[in-house]
Amino acid sequence: MRQYTQFYIDGRWVEPVELKTLDVENPATEEVCGQIALGSAADVDQAVAAAQRAFAGWSQSGRGERLDLLRAIQAEYQRRRSDLADAVNEEMGAPPALAAGLQVDLGAGHLATAIEALKNFAFTERRGETMVEREPIGVCGLITPWNWPLNQIAVKVYPALATGCTMVLKPSEIAPFSAYVFTEIMAAAGVPAGVYNMINGDGPGVGEALSRHPDVDMVSFTGSTRAGIAVAENAAPTVKRVTQELGGKSPNVVLDDETFVDSVTAGVRSMMLNSGQSCNAPSRMLVPNSRMDEAIVIARAAAEQVHVGDPAEATAIGPVASKAQFTKVQALIDAGIAEGATVAAGGPGRPAGLDTGYFVRPTVFARVTNEMTIAREEIFGPVLCILGYDDLDQAVEIANDTEYGLAGYVSGSDVTAARAVARRIRAGWVAINHAFDINAPFGGYKRSGNGREWSDAGFHEYLEIKSTLGYGADVGG
């Protein structure tokens, strides 16, 4: 059983100010698989002070020094890939293929793109006799979720390092193991003392203290919209920058063309990835009303091909991350049935033969209307809603009829039509035929947050802009 009861502050592992522990449960077995310490405001004070001391030096580091550090982290990350995968498998119940694949790969991929972006990133810009400089914002509080733990740590820590910031990371207490291995990687790579600090804890104990702290200059938060609002409210009195990547209820507009079968099938498979626990999941599939019956048959067949709990299967998905999440998902499935949606596949309860673990049946609801609870609320489980539309104008109207705007999808063979629909979807990240690009800026409109992450787009969130007037046109920069 893993025992992680220290925090990483000022370049060393330290005991909490006051030891308070939390058992960590493996959601696949419902057994305690480890224990972590929960931090407090006093621990945050120590970590922020260390980051503040380190900022004076690291903020003045050059591009070469930062690149050297990121490359050292890259080498250590590669060396510890299997340890990272084991941690994700244990803390999330993720099947080994997913844990060792996308879960670890995304952390590595964002590091590679950060290195490439840093090589040529323009920290200075001449505008006549004015010099415009982009300087590190300061001490950053980084608060990450449990669903893609390494991905979310990566898209915050790497840009912060690349831009010369120092930081305090609070990973999710639900999935904390991979963050400990990640911190060991940072230490082994030689991150200067105080530049990177890590404290475990919950929202009230550590998250709130970080977002309120007067010496934290910026908070980057990923999680629910409800929690994101609380972070922004806590941060408001100190007028610090807050960037948020929050919830989603992303539409997937399926065009009426010859690739309809493939489009519906791909939409189901994409929805079920990571047990549906992705903020950008294509959770609302929009199909022509004239083809609703056909869509039901296709979606049912695709959902029945998703195996639950068998890590040997390439299409396997694991449990949802906790008992609380399982209870929430089950309640929303019940709500969908009560409000009259058609259960095309799955439904309430665990899959047959799985009496232990927080496993959810891959579920497809059809003939859903956009007023239903399951069409409005982020379920965060392997549950897809299929809605009908009469024409593309109505499809776009339904797609945008949501408080969220994180992602959108358009599926079909007519690229011109797909592009036209994509332009009208009010979301920060729209994929045609489930395309993926780790260099694409990622973030949302409306209540899905503000700011952008991934590659060079994420750098800007960690920078202040300084204009020096009268710098002189003939002076090199």
Same structural domain for residues 166 and 259? no
Q: Residues 6 or more apart from 303 whose CB is under 8 A from it? A: 268, 272, 344, 345, 346, 362, 363, 364, 384
**71 alpha carbon, distance to own chain's centre:** 23
Q: Tell me how far apart the alpha carbons of residues 372 and 377 are, in angstroms, rounded to a whole number.
A: 9
Q: Are residues 201 and 256 in the same domain?
A: no
Establish if 186 belongs to a structural domain.
yes
Q: Phi first, then psi: what are they for 22, rounded to 5°?
A: -135, 130
Q: Which amino acid is at 120?
A: N
68/91 same-domain check: yes
Residue 312 has what pLDDT?
Answer: 67
- Are the CB atoms for 36 and 20 separated by under 8 Å? no
Looking at the fold, whether 255 and 180 belong to one and the same domain comes out as: no
- 328-350 confidence digits (pLDDT tens): 999 999 999 999 999 999 999 99
**Number of independent structural domains in the chain:** 2
Mean pLDDT (the chain, rounded): 97
Q: Which whole number is the average pLDDT over 435-444?
A: 97
Residue 473 has a pLDDT of 75
Work out the number of other CB atoms within 10 angstroms of the CB of residue 53. Answer: 15
Tell me, yes or no, whether 475 lies in a domain: no
| pLDDT recorded at residue 223 | 96
- The verdict on residue 33 lying in a domain is yes
- Considering the domain boundaries, does residue 83 fall inside one? yes
One domain for residues 363 and 429: yes
pLDDT tier at 209 (50, 70, 90 boundaries)?
very high
In the prediction, which pLDDT does 310 show?
Answer: 72
> Which of 50-54, 93-97, 316-320 has the highest mean predicted lDDT (pLDDT)?
50-54
Given a contact cutoff of 8 angstroms between Cβ atoms, the answer to whether 156 and 179 are in contact is no
474 pLDDT higher than 90: no
Give the model confidence (pLDDT) of 4-46 as tens digits: 999 999 999 999 999 999 999 999 999 999 999 999 999 999 9
Q: For residue 96, what are the domain limits?
A: 2-246+448-468
477 assigned to some structural domain: no
What's the whole-number mean pLDDT along residues 48-59? 98
Q: What is the pLDDT of residues 148-159, one digit of tens each?
A: 999 999 999 999
Clarify whether residues 309 and 198 are in a common domain. Answer: no
Residues 224 and 263 in one domain: no
**pLDDT at position 316, please?**
86
Catalytic residues: 245, 279
Query: Does the pTM of the predicted model rise above 0.85?
Result: yes
CB 76 within 8 A of CB 188: yes
Over range 87-116, report the average pLDDT.
97
Mean pLDDT (whole number) for 384-394: 98
Shared domain for 138 and 107, answered yes or no, is yes
pLDDT score, position 309: 86
SS3 content of the chain, % helix, strand, coil (to 5): 45, 20, 35
Does residue 252 have a pLDDT over 70? yes
Query: Which SS3 state, helix, strand or coil, does residue 34 take?
Result: strand
What is the reported pLDDT for 477? 42
Phi, psi of 389 (to 5 degrees): -140, 155
Q: Do 209 and 103 share a structural domain?
A: yes
Rg (CA), the chain: 23
Q: Is 273 among the domain residues?
A: yes
Within a domain: residue 473? no
Q: Which residues of 69-99 are buried (b: 16+ CB within 10 A; e: fewer)?
A: bbebbbebbeebeebbbbbbbbbbbbbebbb
**Tell me, what CATH number does 383's domain have?**
3.40.309.10
Q: Which amino acid is at 322?
A: S
Q: How confident is the model at residue 224 (pLDDT cuts 50, 70, 90)?
A: very high
- Residues of the chain with pLDDT > 90, as a percent, come to 97
Domain at 106, CATH number: 3.40.605.10
Q: Is the pLDDT of residue 462 over 50?
A: yes
Residues 459 and 438 in one domain: no
219 and 316, same domain (yes or no)? no
Judge if 386 and 429 occupy the same domain. yes
pLDDT at 110 over 80: yes
